[in-house]
Amino acid sequence: MPDLTLSTDVSLQAFNTFGIAARARRYLRITDPAQLAQLAADPALNTLPRLVLGGGSNLLLTRDVEALVLHMGLLGKEIVGETADSILVRAQAGESWHGFVQWTLAQGLGGLENLALIPGTVGASPIQNIGAYGAEVKDLFHALTVFDLADGSTRTMTAAECRFGYRDSVFKHAEGKDLIVLDVTFALPRAWTPNLRYAELAQELATVGIATPTPQQAGDAVVAIRRRKLPDPAEIGNAGSFFKNPVVSAGECARLLAAWPALVHHRQADGSEKLAAGWLIDQCGWKGRTLGRAGVYPKQALVLVNAGGATGEEVMALARAIQRDVRERFGVELEPEPVMV
């Protein structure tokens, strides 16, 4: 029988990439799905408020956590099958996302390389529908397994059932609150071609003289760009991109372009326009500035950082100030990416 003993008064500082000092009143590391079955069968435990924690890379802790923290530690990755067009690979929820991407590349399998070096775990990747350099998890997603704490069942979910959107999925809404991701399966293409739609990535490869990259070379280029532009959470506390890139109508984008011709924007398939939140923030003069012990990373205005001993409230105060300035200058609302607790 797996252990269901809860730890109490556990520091979460090492379990969130912002490095915020906060404590969990009750904590359980999940290393076996049977623990979740036991939890679901225990009325006293299953009725507690809960926080499911992966790598803590999309989380801002603003206070100590009264909820039961379920820290996903399920490990394992494997090739599980194939179709005419794809190789199916599966990883357990607690696996490092970047470690998993690197593992697929080591197997000679392309598809996930544009998502290299994104912090966090495999289990969290579909919840956020993580994306970078013109790729998102949903593009290669095949299926996932969830445990439903509401009824104690385990089931498989398709992409349609996950309802993927821009940094969104069913798991971020009320109807997904009881679903805990156990593993994720991806369909990686046999006939791989590099996704070089982002000029920055194409330029990186051109700079090193690679005209037709392998998946590994494309992944290495993504890692090189991210290392230059983004702070390592092990050195500077952060949660990566703090704000979503706002999506506006074509008419609204035209209005903004008339006033700011240098506005960075990307046309979407439905005709809407995705604006670069980092550019908006930079134009408001926030890049490199601090407010209390929280700051904006000097190399990338989209990244808020713990400048040393910051509280979650200090980070939130900085975020609100940035939102206010962008709203007042551009009439655009910025929406935070991290989960606030």
pLDDT tens digits along 244-296: 999 999 999 999 999 999 999 989 889 999 999 999 999 999 999 999 999 99
User: DSSP per residue over 66-108, as a string?
Assistant: EEEEEEE----EEEEEE-SSEEEEEEETTSBHHHHHHHHHHTT
Which pLDDT score is estimated for 279?
A: 96
Residue ending a domain, choose from 132, 160, 189: 189
- Domains contained in the chain, number: 3
In a domain, 82, yes or no: yes
Radius of gyration for the chain, computed over Cα atoms and rounded to the nearest angstrom: 21
Residues 52 and 91 both lie in one domain: no
Which pLDDT score is estimated for 311?
A: 96
Give residue 216's Cα distance to chain centre: 22
Which pLDDT score is estimated for 1?
A: 65
In a domain, 205, yes or no: no
* Active-site residue identified among 167, 169, 226, 314: 167
- Any idea what the CATH number is for the domain that residue 283 is in? 3.90.78.10
Residue 190 a catalytic site member = no
In a domain, 137, yes or no: yes
Residues 261 and 317 both lie in one domain: yes
d(C-alpha 156, C-alpha 134), whole Å:
27
Residue ending a domain, choose from 157, 172, 189: 189
Over residues 215-225, the pLDDT tens digits come to 999 999 999 99
123, 182 contact by CB (below 8 A): yes
Residues of the chain with pLDDT under 70: 1
Q: Give φ, ψ of 304 to 5 degrees.
A: -95, 145
- Any idea what the CATH number is for the domain that residue 29 is in? 3.30.43.10
Residues 86 and 56 both lie in one domain: no
The residue range of the domain holding 67 is 7-72
Residue ending a domain, choose from 189, 216, 250: 189
Residue 167 a catalytic site member = yes
Over residues 134-165, the pLDDT tens digits come to 899 999 999 999 999 999 999 999 999 999 99
* Active-site residue identified among 50, 57, 241, 273: 241
